[in-house]
Amino acid sequence: MSDHKILTVLGARPQFIKAAAVSRAFKRIGIREIIVHTGQHFDEKMSDVFFREMEIPQPTHRLEIHSLSHGAMTGRMIEGIERIILQENPSAVMVFGDTNSTLAGALAAVKLHIPVIHVEAGLRSFNMKMPEEINRIVTDRISSLLFCPTETAIQNLMNEGYSHFSSKIVRSGDVMYDTALYYVQKAKTSTSILKDLNLSGKTFVLATIHRQENTDNPERLAGIVNGLNLIHAEIPVIVPLHPRTRKMLQSHTIVPKFQCIDPVGYFDMLVLLDACRAVLTDSGGLQKEAFFFKKPCITLREETEWVELVEGGYNILAGWQSDRIAAAFHKGVQSSPDFEKDLYGKGDAALRIADEIKLYLS
């Protein structure tokens, strides 16, 4: 076992999925890991179920910080993570993605002169109204070790002058691909979601809506729901619904005609992805997972950080207007892009990350 200790900060569903692969790689090469769960996703179906299903080591520290404004949430997380860093004295702090938990972990560490490791660095949507864009830009700038999933991500950093900074940039591939490959067969034998929803052998579309720019704007939310209603008139649409989105639909009297279900665990989502005809989403991670499972993806946003998916014809940006969403869906299901293209590595990103961290700390 290495003398080095990594403090990993997690808070949201996509981070649990990425952490599963990296935690397994750490164990394999003997790096000690302490996990902090900020509590950003606190719903049992969006948090604890991932730790159980994916055999992620249980968090040593839980902050239980959620349901606050961006400033209050991030501030309280920084305070809590700082206290834990001083207690644990790690060799480095590792953060994933672009949430408030990501930014809080990075800021707490860098102010204590602890190196920051950012997994999924270099992504840019070029929309500064997105809180995630601010989180990822600031986190990248204060990180010592930047793991980029794609060549596009590296180019983004180069365009921002990172060749003049002291941080180390590594193209690692995408850890979400590692995780999907590792768990898909186990998922098929351990979940009955298709049978439970009466979808076995049936054609359906999988959709998610959770991004604040969509859920907090009644016009946008109504446009997306109406677009999904149009598609549902032709082919069943299944939507695992974020609790906050459900609340917004009710408060604005927006009526979905498609089937809304509770949030699902990772295994259920893998099986739904594998069986569906197409994906409609405003999630960043699900756009990639659609590609992993060779499904056309319609993105319910005006831009995406995964530009290579749009350029390759795997993903169509549809925004929020119902007619655009329906038109993009029809275009997507009629297209046939080359899903064999190597965009996100070979499924060995986590081991590359673990090896690189061990080298960096030695």
Q: Which residues participate in catalysis according to the annotation? A: 210
Assess contact for 56 and 22: CB atoms under 8 A: no
Alpha carbons 312 and 309: distance in angstroms, whole number: 5
Name the CA dihedral angle for 161, 164, 170, 173, rounded to a multiple of 10 degrees.
Answer: 0
Instruction: State both tokens at 253.
Output: 């009297």
For the chain, the distance separating the N- and C-terminal CA atoms, rounded to the nearest angstrom, is 13
Phi and psi at 262, nearest 5°, equal -65, 160
Element (H, E) at 69: none
> What's the one-letter identity of residue 29?
I
* Residue 96, helix vs strand vs coil: strand
Which H or E element spans position 193? helix 193-196
One-letter amino acid at 36 equals V
Residue 128 CB burial class (10 angstroms; 0-12, 13-18, ≥19): exposed
Tell me if residue 17 falls in helix, strand or coil: helix
Classify residue 207 by its DSSP letter: E
